[in-house]
Amino acid sequence: MKTERTNNTANLTIVVLITLILFISTSVFASADDAKTKVKTVFSQVESSLIKLKQTNTLTKVNITDVLTKHLLPEVETKYFTYKVLNKNLAKVPDELKERFVHELSMQLINTYSNLLNKYTNEVINVGQSTLSKSGKMAMVDIAIVSKSKTNSAVVKLLQNNEQEWLFFDIEVEGISLLQTKQNEINASFNRLGVEGTLLHLQKINQKANEG
């Protein structure tokens, strides 16, 4: 009788463990799928808007920037991106200037995307595999930008916020990280121009880009 009760307890424990493992696995896959869905949604909106601009001969840098500001910028974790770009220089930035850096560096990100898409010629953006970091808080989604002559590979990186939403924070094109590139640029600028000089430099670059 005691042996039977022990076996039942052991079996129940195994069932609970298997159920828990399946639940965790399902949650992980669902989360990875959510990240992939976010990338598909955003890039589909951008692609559709670019096609309309192309068809109406209004594919200008200003209009491309407007498209990205509307569809991409709201889905970017701008504060995380900015603080990662500033890196060790963040400690040098006074609290009253941090939001201004967030704004200017967010515009730098949008302008970088705008430069990449300025010569859009009906490329197709295919969204591929999505993988999660060990913590489950970051996702990497493969994309391929396919044209008639070549295919460019990229990896979009997303971060899960406290509301369980997936937000963009970096993109690697052919292995080159946008965040890392900007981090190197800003580090050199801080060494050369200091905090306020760097902020002014960013403002001038963004102003010039908007005028173009």
- Report the length, in residues, of the chain: 212
Where are the alpha helices (H) located in 56-166, listed in sequence order? 61-71, 78-86, 95-117
Q: Which pLDDT belongs to residue 121?
A: 80
* pLDDT tens digits, 14-29: 433 333 333 333 334 4
Rounded distance between C-alpha atoms, residue 137 and residue 139, angstroms: 7
**Burial environment of residue 16 by CB neighbours within 10 A (0 to 12, 13 to 18, 19 or more):** exposed
Residue whose C-alpha is closest to residue 108's, from 183, 53, 195: 183
| Domains, the chain, ordered by start | 34-211 (3.10.450.710)
Rounded distance between C-alpha atoms, residue 72 and residue 171, angstroms: 12
- Predicted TM-score (pTM) of the model is 0.79
61-84 mean pLDDT: 94
* pLDDT tens digits, 127-169: 999 999 988 899 999 988 887 788 888 899 999 988 889 999 9
Rounded distance between C-alpha atoms, residue 185 and residue 191, angstroms: 10
Share of the chain above pLDDT 90, in %: 56
